[in-house]
């Protein structure tokens, strides 16, 4: 009965591999659904509306880093991460994934500096994916009186990839800023 034997082997093989194939199919589907854009606030969140767009590049600063996971978080209009000011579980956060051109977009409110002062307002980024090591970045805003001379110098050295970016308020009342990121190896 060679035919039956073959059929049995094929059936057993299908049963053996099916869960793995199903998992791969689902995992690919889920990962494809992570958008490159997120709204970080609920309607009614106090603060001035603020949109950040940008592109994540590889270490050469030219090649877009596609499908990188970007976790961003920041303080609210009071300078707090949450009611208990816990930055490990911030209230205003988003996880997105850069698109095929490395682009991302965050729609949120303009963060305020910490209540104690001394540290400029900022947005934290954690970026992971591909074969890059996980890495962190901070976005600061030009004109912030709490920026130190050292921070300005460090940002200027990185040119278009510096952490201090200009921002502009549109006629619609929305602050806009472009923050491009160059990944490290
Ligand atoms: Fe912070």
pLDDT digits (tens, 9 = 90+) for 3-56: 566 565 565 555 565 655 555 554 554 455 799 999 999 999 999 999 999 999
Adjacent-strand bridge partners of 51: 107, 176
Q: For residue 33, what pLDDT is reported?
A: 77
* Centroid of ligand 1 to alpha carbon of 163 (angstroms): 14
> Which position has the higher pLDDT, 7 or 151?
151
* Centroid of ligand 1 to alpha carbon of 103 (angstroms): 23
Mean local confidence (pLDDT), 99-110 = 98
Mean local confidence (pLDDT), 71-91 = 97
pLDDT at residue 183 is higher than 80: yes
pLDDT at residue 88 is higher than 60: yes
Q: Are 95 and 36 in contact (CB under 8 A)?
A: no
* Centroid of ligand 1 to alpha carbon of 178 (angstroms): 19
Query: Scanning the structure block, which residue is given the tokens 């500096």?
Result: 113
Q: Classify domain 35-182 at the CATH superfamily level.
A: Aromatic compound dioxygenase (2.60.130.10)
pTM of the model: 0.82
pLDDT at residue 108 is higher than 90: yes
Closest among 118, 72, 136 to 98, alpha carbons compared: 72
Closest among 142, 89, 144 to 114, alpha carbons compared: 144
d(CA 24, CA 44): 40
pLDDT confidence tier of residue 1, bands split at 50, 70 and 90: very low
Q: For residue 10, what pLDDT is reported?
A: 60
% residues pLDDT > 70 (the chain): 83
* Centroid of ligand 1 to alpha carbon of 16 (angstroms): 48
């Amino acid at each position: 009965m060679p035919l039956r034997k073959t059929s049995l082997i094929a059936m057993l093989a299908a049963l053996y591999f099916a869960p793995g194939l199903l998992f791969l199919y689902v995992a690919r589907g889920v990962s494809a659904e992570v958008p490159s854009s997120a709204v970080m606030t609920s309607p009614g969140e106090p603060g001035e509306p603020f949109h950040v767009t940008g592109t994540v590049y590889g270490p050469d600063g030219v090649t877009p880093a596609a499908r990188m996971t970007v976790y961003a978080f920041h303080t609210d209009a009071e300078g707090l991460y949450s009611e208990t000011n816990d930055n490990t579980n911030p209230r205003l956060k988003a996880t997105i994934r850069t698109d095929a051109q490395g682009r991302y977009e965050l729609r949120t409110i303009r963060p305020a500096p910490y209540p104690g002062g001394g540290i400029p307002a900022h947005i934290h980024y954690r970026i992971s994916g591909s074969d890059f090591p996980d890495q962190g970045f901070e976005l600061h805003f030009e004109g912030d009186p709490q920026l130190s001379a050292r921070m300005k110098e460090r940002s200027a050295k990185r040119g278009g990839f510096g952490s201090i970016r200009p921002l502009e308020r549109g006629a619609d009342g929305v602050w806009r800023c472009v923050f491009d990121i160059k990944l490290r190896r």
